């Protein structure tokens, strides 16, 4: 989509952030999570940028893995949702994809597979997310079943689970999950994988053999109360848009749909060509920060489809003009601040804005 607003992706920030994950979990291997078009950053280009640093890549579904293989990405790829049918199994065999096995119907698909391939598998245990995975009580018997299965590469097996509350550092759930996982895997000799970004940064006990960093690669802090700078993470995506009009509004004038913002005094404002069609959150309220010409200012009134209005009163020395570029999020204003202001999470903003046309920066 070609619009006035655009995102720029910074390869060095992506590399830096993956290196940060590896520094924090120094003995673990890193599965860089590039599902959902690498959280809006472009799956194929991100895979290329992280190729030499990542030990492997992870995507959600077979189709995402096919796209990477077709683009020539020959590194190990884990499919987090695993196979759904026999065709997925054939593709996984052909493209040498690692599959996550989390339910019984996948096991029976595997039993019916007639090809020669021996699959590389992660056995997923549900320790409390209650989304994907087998009950912990089945871990031992399922592991042994897979270990002896004629369609499985026995050396490849990895045990995994997923944390549901790792972003809440004061909650007890993560410790309980870690304990349940440890117990269910007690007599199983295989590598383990537990940690998402919040696990990596907040729960050293979750590091295990393979970490699975996602959001931190893209320069967002997984914790609501901690800024990305505390973890030395850098913005990988910048959302910019130009100023397209300037006005001097009078006390009492209202701005935008619903006239929800009324000027308490005379205020100069600028219109920026970015709205919810560009991935900017419609629920961002007045007061949400916007960066333009070296200064932070704020959104006034409702977000429209293609525009927002910002306060231009702090620019009396060198007034804003059409063509000046605003940063909606990026290096100066973290995507986490915008997410918080709009009562959502950075994951959603990055994925949505990623549907814009993007450019490579440095
Ligand atoms: C998406 C995902 C991750 C990455 O999570 P972040 O919070 O983005 O770091 C890790 N593991 C699984 C199973 C996932 O689905």
> What is the mean predicted confidence (pLDDT) over 328-352?
97
pLDDT digits (tens, 9 = 90+) for 250-303: 999 999 999 999 999 999 999 999 999 999 999 999 999 999 999 999 999 999
Distance 213 CA to ligand 1 centre (A): 6
Same domain, 127 and 39: yes
Looking at the structure, tell me whether residues 259 and 202 fall in a common domain: no
| 194 CA → ligand 1 middle, Å | 10
Indicate whether residue 124 lines ligand 1 (CB < 6 A).
Answer: no
**Looking at the annotation, which residues are catalytic?**
35, 257
Ligand 1 near 206 CB (within 6 A): no
- The residue written with tokens 């007890």 in the block is 172
User: Distances from the Cα of 37 to the Cαs of 47, 144, 150, in angstroms?
Assistant: 10, 35, 34
Strand spans (E) along 47-180: 56-59, 77-79, 98-101, 120-124, 158-160
**Is 213's C-beta closer than 6 angstroms to any atom of ligand 1?**
yes
What does the pLDDT look like over 36-75, one tens digit per residue? 999 999 999 999 999 999 999 999 999 999 999 999 999 9
Determine if ligand 1 sits within 6 Å of the CB of residue 196. Answer: yes
Q: Which of these three, 221, 249, 282, is where a domain ends?
A: 221
Residues 206 and 253 placed together within one structural domain of the fold = no
Q: What is the pLDDT of residues 297-325, one digit of tens each?
A: 999 999 999 999 999 999 989 999 999 99
Q: Is the shortest distance between the CB of 33 and ligand 1 below 6 Å?
A: yes
Ligand 1 atom 1: residue of nearest CA = 214
Give the distance, in angstroms, between the CA of residue 23 and the centroid of all CA atoms in the same chain: 19
Q: Do 300 and 242 fall into the same domain?
A: yes
Residues 33 and 118 in one domain: yes
Atom of ligand 1 nearest to the CA of 215: 8
Is residue 70, in this structure, part of any structural domain at all? yes
Atom of ligand 1 nearest to the CA of 167: 7
**Could you tell me the pLDDT band of residue 354, with boundaries at 50, 70 and 90?**
confident
pLDDT, the chain, mean = 96
> Do residues 106 and 151 share a domain?
yes
What does the block give as tokens for 173? Answer: 């759930």
Supply the DSSP symbol for 265: S
Residue 194's domain spans which residues?
11-221
Residue 327 covered by a domain: yes
Best substitution site from 60, 129, 214, 219 to test ligand 1's pocket, by max atoms within 8 Å of Cβ? Answer: 214
Residue 8, SS3 per DSSP: strand
**192 Cα–ligand 1 center, Å:** 15
Determine, yes or no, domain membership for 230.
no
CA distances from 39 to 8, 34, 240, 324, 354 (A): 14, 7, 18, 28, 7
Q: Which of the four pLDDT bands, split at 50, 70 and 90, describes residue 356? A: low
Distance of CA 9 to CAs 42, 51, 270, Å?
A: 9, 16, 26
On whether residue 5 sits in a domain, the answer given is: no
Cβ 221 under 6 angstroms from ligand 1: no
Cα 33 to middle of ligand 1, angstroms: 7
Give the domain CATH number at 101.
Answer: 3.20.20.10
Residue 222 near ligand 1, beta carbon < 6 Å: yes
Q: Examine the domain organization and report whether 43 and 157 are in the same domain.
A: yes
Domain co-membership, 205 together with 254: no
Confidence band, pLDDT 50/70/90 cuts, at residue 2: confident
């Amino acid at each position: 989509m070609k619009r006035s607003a655009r995102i720029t992706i910074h390869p060095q920030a992506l590399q830096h952030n993956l290196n940060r994950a590896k520094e924090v979990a120094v003995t673990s291997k890193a599965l860089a999570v590039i599902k959902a078009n690498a959280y809006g950053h472009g799956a194929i280009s991100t895979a290329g940028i992280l190729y030499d640093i990542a030990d492997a890549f992870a995507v959600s579904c077979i189709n995402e893995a096919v796209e990477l293989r077709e683009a020539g990405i020959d590194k190990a790829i884990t499919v987090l949702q695993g196979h759904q049918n026999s065709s997925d199994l054939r593709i996984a065999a052909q493209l040498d994809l690692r599959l996550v096995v989390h339910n019984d119907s996948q096991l029976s698909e595997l039993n019916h597979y007639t090809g020669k391939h021996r699959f590389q598998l992660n056995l997923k245990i549900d320790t409390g997310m209650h989304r994907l995975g087998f009950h912990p009580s089945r871990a031992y018997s399922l592991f042994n079943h897979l270990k002896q299965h004629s369609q499985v590469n026995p050396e490849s097996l990895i045990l995994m689970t997923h944390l549901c509350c790792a972003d809440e550092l004061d909650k007890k759930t993560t410790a309980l999950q870690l304990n349940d996982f440890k117990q269910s895997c007690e007599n199983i000799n295989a590598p383990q994988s537990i940690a998402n970004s919040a696990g990596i940064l907040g729960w050293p006990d979750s590091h295990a053999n393979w970490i699975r960093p996602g959001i931190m690669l893209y320069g967002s802090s997984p914790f609501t109360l901690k800024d990305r700078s505390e973890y030395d993470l850098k913005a990988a995506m910048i959302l910019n848009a130009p100023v397209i009009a300037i006005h001097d509004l009078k006390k009492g004038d209202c701005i935008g749909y619903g006239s929800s913002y009324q000027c308490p005094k005379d205020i100069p404002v600028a219109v920026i060509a970015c709205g919810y069609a560009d991935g900017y959150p419609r629920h961002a309220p007045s007061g949400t920060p916007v960066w333009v010409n070296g200064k932070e200012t704020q959104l006034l009134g409702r977000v429209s489809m293609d525009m927002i209005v910002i306060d231009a009163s702090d620019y009396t020395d060198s007034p804003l003009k059409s063509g000046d570029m605003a940063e909606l999020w990026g290096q100066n204003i973290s995507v986490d601040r915008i997410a918080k202001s709009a009562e959502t999470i950075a994951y959603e903003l990055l994925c949505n804005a990623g549907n814009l046309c993007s450019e490579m920066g440095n």
